[in-house]
């Protein structure tokens, strides 16, 4: 998704000289073409993410659309105060691009695991939080955010779900995508782990369990209408995220459904529940360890269906 982002940004920067890209001394090779083509639209600020965020705010207040680029927690949690006091308070047109989110950098340990950023950043006023699930969404989100003013977190995973977009499909910030229809349960995922949700849906289909699968690429603003429809039209809702369950996608979905009075037959948050991951390894290995892979998701859904009296569940198990 990182490569899809930079290709898309290069295209829009060629048409709009107000677009700037700042990096915290990262992205060698990835950002080389952009830097060579647009030397006046690119700046390496060094290993100084807090300074990068303050600088980006000043440039944005002078009329630029500024993208800041770094990995994992470095452009978010490391400079949270600058994002809050500078970017969000001034509603500056700064797009914070965090690559390698979730446990993408699994072998490097918790310092490089971005597994609390959704919870923390979405609590800030005025900020949009976008977490694409595949390369097409990453491409389209970059184009859309270049045109949309205001603070944004663009959260990019190393993994990517299969591209299921229709030829004439339109991408909209804040509008979820239903990538598979089903009536028994709704699986709502954000980020590249959507791929695990789709595989889990295939496994459940062998048990005659039909899953509606939603790509929730925008966490804030959340597509509440799509969630209400799923709560009333399917037997239950399961959220899936490579992130802590406290305050992430699952928290956002639960808050909005409860406030809307739309109670699903059952509700389950699948995400990190055991604190920091003291295990290192590949992203796929860590998903397996923490019960976030397709097999574990499918088993969790089966357990929910077996324990729910909802009408849709009865039909699924009939």
Q: What is the rounded CA–CA span in Å between residue 98 and residue 95?
A: 10
Catalytic residue among 49, 116, 137, 241: 49
Confidence (pTM)? 0.94
Domain annotation for the chain: domains and CATH numbers:
2-156 (3.40.50.970), 177-317 (3.40.50.920)
Q: What is the rounded CA–CA span in Å between residue 211 and residue 111?
A: 35
Instruction: Tell me the sheet residues that pair with 154.
Output: 97, 130
Written as six digits, the tokens of 202 are 């295939």
Angle between helices 224-233 and 249-260 (to 10 degrees): 70
Query: How does DSSP assign 127-141, residue by residue?
Result: -EEE--SSHHHHHHH
Strands (E), 114-184: 128-130, 152-156, 177-180
Task: Write the pLDDT tens digit of every residue in 59-114.
Answer: 999 999 999 999 989 999 999 999 999 999 999 999 999 999 999 999 998 899 99
Averaged pLDDT of the chain: 94
Establish whether 196 is a catalytic residue: no
Cα–Cα separations (whole angstroms), residue 72 to 55, 183, 234? 20, 36, 35
């Amino acid at each position: 998704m990182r490569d899809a982002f930079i290709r898309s940004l290069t295209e829009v920067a060629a048409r709009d000289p107000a677009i700037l890209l700042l990096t915290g001394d990262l992205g060698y090779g990835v950002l080389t073409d952009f830097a060579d083509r647009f030397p006046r639209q690119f700046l390496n600020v060094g290993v100084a993410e807090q300074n990068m965020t303050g600088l980006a705010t000043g440039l944005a207040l002078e009329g630029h659309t500024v993208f800041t680029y770094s990995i994992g927690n470095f452009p978010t949690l490391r400079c949270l105060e600058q994002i809050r006091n500078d970017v969000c308070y001034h509603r500056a047109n700064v797009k914070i691009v965090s690559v390698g989110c979730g446990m993408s950098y699994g072998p490097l340990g918790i310092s490089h695991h971005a597994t609390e950023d959704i919870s923390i950043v979405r609590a800030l006023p005025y900020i949009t939080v976008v977490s694409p699930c595949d390369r097409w969404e990453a491409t389209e989100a970059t184009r859309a955010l270049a045109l949309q003013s205001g603070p944004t977190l663009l959260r990019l995973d190393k993994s990517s779900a299969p591209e299921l977009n229709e030829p004439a499909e339109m991408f909209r910030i804040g509008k979820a995508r239903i990538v598979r229809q089903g009536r028994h349960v709704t699986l709502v995922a954000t980020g590249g782990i959507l791929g695990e949700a789709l595989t889990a849906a295939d496994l459940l289909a062998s048990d005659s369990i039909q899953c509606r699968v939603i790509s929730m690429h925008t966490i804030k603003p959340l597509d509440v209408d799509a969630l209400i429809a799923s709560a009333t039209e399917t037997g239950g809702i399961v959220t899936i995220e490579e992130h802590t369950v406290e305050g992430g996608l699952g928290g956002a979905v639960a808050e909005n459904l409860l406030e809307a009075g739309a109670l699903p037959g059952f509700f389950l948050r699948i995400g990190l529940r055991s604190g920091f991951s003291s295990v290192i390894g590949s992203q796929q290995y860590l998903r397996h360890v923490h019960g976030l892979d397709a097999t574990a998701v499918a088993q969790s859904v089966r357990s929910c269906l077996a324990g729910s009296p909802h009408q849709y569940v009865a039909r699924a198990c009939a």
